[in-house]
Chains A and B, each alone.
Chain A
Amino acid sequence: MLVANGSHICLTDIMTTEHKKLSELKRHEAGLVRGFTANNDDMVLKLREIGFAEGDEVEILGRGLLGGTPISVRLNQTVIALRSKEAQLVEVDTVT
């Protein structure tokens, strides 16, 4: 079940999925975590520790005025703030 803007979308209803980086998502855009770019193991470990994991729901709640960074992300029921640079490491399947 995916909750976005309060409306419920069932995964079976999804027509297409698109691979994106978390940093590329726009405000209010949602998706599921697919995995992590493996080129920075320590940062990936930190992202995992704070809660990002495969299959988790993410939704962009807000982005900073300058350069769209930092980003505030809803991760399941938690809100996480991170910079665009770190968000590049998170790969997301978005639903359209």
Chain B
Amino acid sequence: MTSQEGGELRLALIGAPNTGKTTLFNALTGGRAKTANYPGVTVERRTGHFHTPGGRAVELIDLPGIYGLAGRTLDERVAVDAITGHIEGEAAPDLLLIFLDATNLRTHLHNVLELKTLGRPSVLVLNMMDLAKRDGTKIDIAGLEETLGIPVIPANAARASGREELVKRIDTIVNGIIQDPAAAHPIDSSQELKTLQSEAREIANKVILQDSGLNTLTRRLDGVLMHPLLGPVILTSVLFLMFQAVYSWANIPMDMIDGLFGVLRGYAQQVHPDWLASFLADGVIAGVGSVLIFLPQIIILFGFILLLESSGYMGRAAFLMDELMRRAGLNGRAFIPLLSSFACAVPGIMAARTIESDRDRLTTIMVAPLMTCSARLPVYTLIIAAFIPRTKIGIFNQQGLVMFALYIAGILSALIIAFVLRKTLTKGETQPFLMELPSYKLPGLWDFILGLWQRTWIFLRRAGTIIFTVAIALWFLASFPASADGIQGSFAGMIGSLLVPIFKPIGFSLETVIALVPGMAAREVVVAAMGTVYALQGSEEQITGSLSQILQNAWTLPSALSFLAWYVFAPQCFATIAMVRRETNSLNWTLFMVGYLFALAYLAAFVTYRLALMFTG
């Protein structure tokens, strides 16, 4: 049953969603798994290691939250399989740390009783004790321990002091608890659960010495934020403010970074021999630099997303969007994967595991790449900065308005495509929406900074690896063989010329097409590629200007708008395509997604280009 003396002890974290399992996991193992304040953040099994104060080596297994043992969704199945020892090549864990949110003890206690029916050695971690105390709840811990027959450890996993007792007691507890797996009697009907619930409520009545009402802050905030009229208005305003801020707050730092790279290029151009100067200035600096200047915008966008996720507002947003989602044939739960996709579609597609129906899940995955991910930000910003004047309409920055419109275009097309899919390929019954809304919490400053740093680091690492490589490769392809025609006679020019006939009807020039090919790897790469291509192309005076100034001279407005329309849809991201292949486990669906997105991109760019040509005459 338990692992051999001296061997690693295997502890599994289990319990209702959003009870702090991953917070504890990160704190003890030094992990960096994502945590946030809404149910269903963790969708996969994760392991880490630590030592108890007594020197015992522990393997900690973090699992998705579950309300029961039915295992309806993919993430729930992983959790249930892990604690019952049904994961291949892996024994059941030695001990279950069952998490219970102390502020929701009455509502969730039957989950603990249900987990106990498995007959596994277990300990109850009564987490968020600080919040329960703040709300005025008093719990008889000893009484609870006695009634349940398993150790009960009060904890506050988010703080070091709140984890102390828990970690200490792991040492003493381990050898003491033996449950009988033969006594296992899993629940599988609502009648059986009813019996368990009444037992749980009786225990709750006994051990809750003083009950509290609903958290006052949550009640007050919900009165406003979930108001039938005010709620949707506030949600729209929050998203709007987010895109305005991405624009207006980032201007100064972006100009500074831009200036810095301008100076660096100036130095690089002095280098001898000439080819080396071009390699450094046009390849490395123009390429990588043109993407790096977007770092301030990325940081602001992620700052907003982190605040939305950790405050508890995310669940409210899902609530406010549910009716709209329902009409599009989607589950309200789909809103969370879709909102995550604003950061990046890859985790968004994984988050769809929390959706029960396969059809709903598939539909969500198919439309997730339409949400404007952060990698599109550099593309949009670059073109907008070049072609949309910086004037204000009322109090709104016009560039910010265009950016907002592009985001809305993504969201609306996602809803429309979902609607069409649900009427055709993924036809079926509408799925229920049932979700616990967490109490509001003030995000921890340290978690916020750490979260931002993680995002920044990912962006910088990409700039240093994939973007750097592409910029260099493209510099070679676009510089050789050297010819009098400039880039046109190079390898890149030859490849580009083959593709130009396809893209001519939507207004893309040879340079754009050349940049588009490496841009297949990831969206922001196209910006680096254009940086390099235009740097090589440019005359002396153009070289001193930023990429957006170069584009201003090189492109027409219809071409620019067509390019924006293309990027709303085009699935130019290998990581996303690979993730869709993995999560759908179907090549056909993956090809379908890539196909429909490219078709839409071409169509949208074509229509935009033709309309813009008509209007600009």
Contacts and interface: CB of A to CB of B under 8 A. Distances in A.
Contacts of A55: 201
Contact of A77 (B212, B228, B326, B332): B212
Nearest to B318: A81
Contacts of A54: 194, 197-198
Nearest to B104: A78
Interface stretch (B241-249, B290-298, B428-436): B428-436
B110 interface: yes
Interface in A48-80: 48-51, 53-56, 61-67, 69-70, 72, 74-80
Interface residues of A, number: 40
B322 A81 contact: yes
Interface in B323-364: 323, 326, 332
Contacts of A79: 214, 218, 222, 436-439
Contacts of B231: 62, 65
B106 interface: yes
Interface in A28-60: 36, 41, 43-51, 53-56
Contact of A49 (B67, B137, B215): B67
Contacts of B190: 36, 41, 44-45, 48
Interface in B396-455: 432-439
A85 B70 CA distance: 22
Contact of A50 (B67, B215, B320): B67
Given A3-B213, A53-B198, A79-B214, A72 B437 contact: yes
Contact of B107 (A36, A51, A65): A51
B193 interface: yes
Nearest to B193: A48
A19 interface: no
B190 to A, nearest CB: 4
A1 B211 contact: yes
B461 interface: no
A49 B222 CA distance: 24
Contact of B213 (A43, A65, A69, A77): A77
B432 A46 contact: yes
B312 to A, nearest CB: 10
Best-surrounded residue of B215, B434, B438 (most CB of chain A within 10 A): B434
B319 interface: yes
Contact of A82 (B104, B137, B432): B432
A66 B211 CA distance: 35
Contacts of B232: 65
A75 B219 CA distance: 13
B168 interface: no
A81 B437 contact: yes
Given A61-B222, A79-B218, A69 B323 contact: yes
A39 B190 CA distance: 12
B319 A70 contact: yes
Contacts of A56: 106-107, 201
A66 B30 CA distance: 46
A35 to B, nearest CB: 9
B322 A53 contact: no
B433 A70 contact: yes
B189 A41 contact: yes
A50 B110 CA distance: 10
A76 B222 contact: no
B158 interface: no
Contacts of A70: 319, 322-323, 332, 433
Contacts of B216: 6
Interface in B24-69: 67-68
Interface string A1-43: 1010010000000000000000000000000000010000101
A63 B194 CA distance: 28
B222 A72 contact: yes
B414 to A, nearest CB: 19
Given A53-B110, A61-B226, A64-B322, A81 B193 contact: no
Contacts of A67: 323
A50 B67 CA distance: 6
B84 to A, nearest CB: 17
B512 interface: no
Contacts of B438: 79
Given A49-B111, A70-B433, A65 B229 contact: yes
A77 B193 contact: no
Contacts of B70: 45, 49
Contacts of B434: 46-47, 50, 80-83, 86
Interface in B469-492: none
Contacts of B315: 81
Contacts of A77: 103-104, 106-107, 135, 137, 211-215
Nearest to A73: B437
B326 A83 contact: yes
B436 A48 contact: no
Contacts of B108: 51, 78
B107 A45 contact: no
Interface in B207-242: 211-216, 218-219, 222-223, 226-229, 231-232
Contacts of B322: 64, 69-70, 81, 83
A57 to B, nearest CB: 9
Given A48-B190, A67-B323, A83-B326, A75 B107 contact: yes
Interface of A: 1, 3, 6, 36, 41, 43-51, 53-56, 61-67, 69-70, 72, 74-83, 85-86
Given A53-B194, A74-B219, 9 more contacts: A3-B214, A45-B193, A48-B110, A51-B108, A53-B200, A62-B227, A70-B323, A70-B433, A82-B433
13 contacts: A3-B214, A46-B72, A46-B434, A53-B200, A54-B198, A55-B201, A64-B319, A77-B104, A77-B106, A77-B137, A77-B211, A78-B107, A80-B435
The 3 closest A-B pairs by CB, nearest first: A51-B107, A53-B197, A49-B68
Interface of B: 67-68, 70, 72, 103-104, 106-108, 110-111, 135, 137, 189-190, 193-194, 197-198, 200-201, 211-216, 218-219, 222-223, 226-229, 231-232, 315, 318-320, 322-323, 326, 332, 432-439
